[in-house]
Structure 1
Amino acid sequence: MSTDVHALFVTHTAESAPADARPAIEGVKRKFGHVPTAVGRMATSPQLLRGFLAASAAFEQTTLDPVGREIVVMTVATRNGCHVCVAMHTATLVGLEAPPEVVEALRAGRPLPDARAEALRSFTLAVMDHRGAVGDEETRAFLNAGHSARNALEVVLGVGAYTISTFANRLIDAPLDPPFRAFAWDGDDE
């Protein structure tokens, strides 16, 4: 008899979660008004949930502007094939009133129309592709587009935070919650 290993990842509530995860779940619920299924499943490991939330909160405090942060997140999410993150962060970009052509390009993994934004997307890919050992030419292109050395390290933080999220969401087979279904992504948004 075969067991669905993804069924091991229970969708916890504040009441059912391990005690160490309850404050994090309650914080998410206060911030968003509900507990996304992915968060409920991540709560199986309180350390993973707290680690992701702390890294994500730190990333939100970087000097990258909100759309810039979303460029990093969407680049990681599409590269790592996380349908939950792509949908959630598409909703965020729409809320930020990002131009539709930017949202569409990010979802499709295509170059962005704005040179500075494209430099950020390309640098994020380079960080991922080279596991941080980005070459001089790629780093110079990023800096010449108006980004800073601080921004380069902030990209690394974003890649780290959202690698945790995308990998965890895929492992736990996180479903797309109803508020994000309008932004569903199957990886073929071309």
Structure 2
Amino acid sequence: GIALAVSQVNGCQYCLSAHTYVASNIAKIPADEIRRNRLGQADDPRTAAAVAFSRTLMTSRGKVSDADLATVRAAGFSDANIVEIIALSAQYMLTNFVNNVFDTEIDFPVVDLEVK
């Protein structure tokens, strides 16, 4: 979910295509859940908190509010877990930037950048 949320914010069509393929075909995540993850949402409350926090982290450039932290903590994430969410988000942001810079050829079924 975090990979999808971050890649959506960063407009990385390569990563969205790759992560959608893996989520759909390997993890067997339903298409509607993939769509929600791209928007920083999820059916499961804990996953929803993580992807929402990740999305906010990206859109705020790391300047999350106390309320954002309280929300993710209330979902059961410790500060160590929050650092893990930040690290994953940064990892995906890095790959988004690399693929955006080099306009990597998409070798997965192409996903539209617009969430439908």
Same fold, TM exceeding 0.5? yes
Partner of 2:31: 100
Which one has a bigger Cα radius of gyration? Answer: 1
Percentage of pairs with the same residue: 26
CA deviations over 1:7-53 (Å, ceiling 9, x no partner):
xxxxxxxxxxxxxxxxxxxxxxxxxxxxxxxxxxxxxxxxxxxxxxx
Alignment partner of 2:49 out of 119, 134, 157: 119
| Structure 2 residue ranges without an equivalent (≥5) | none
2:99 is the counterpart of 1:163: no
* Structure 1 runs, 4 residues or longer, greater than 6 Å off: none
Alignment of 1:5-154 (within 5 A): 71-94=1-24, 95-107=26-38, 109=39, 111-154=41-84
> 1:186 corresponds to which letter in structure 2?
D
Whole-angstrom CA distance in 2 between matches of 1:133 and 1:77: 18
Higher relative contact order (CA 8 A, sep 6+): 2
| Residue in structure 2 matching 1:176, options 106, 109, 113 | 106
Per the normalisation by structure 1, the TM-score is 0.56
- Measured at CA, do residues 152 and 110 of structure 1 come closer, stay the same or move farther in structure 2, by a change above 3 Å? closer
Unaligned runs of 5+ in 1: 1-70
- Does the Cα contact within 8 Å between 2:40 and 2:48 map onto a contact in 1? no
Cα RMSD over matched residues? Answer: 1.6
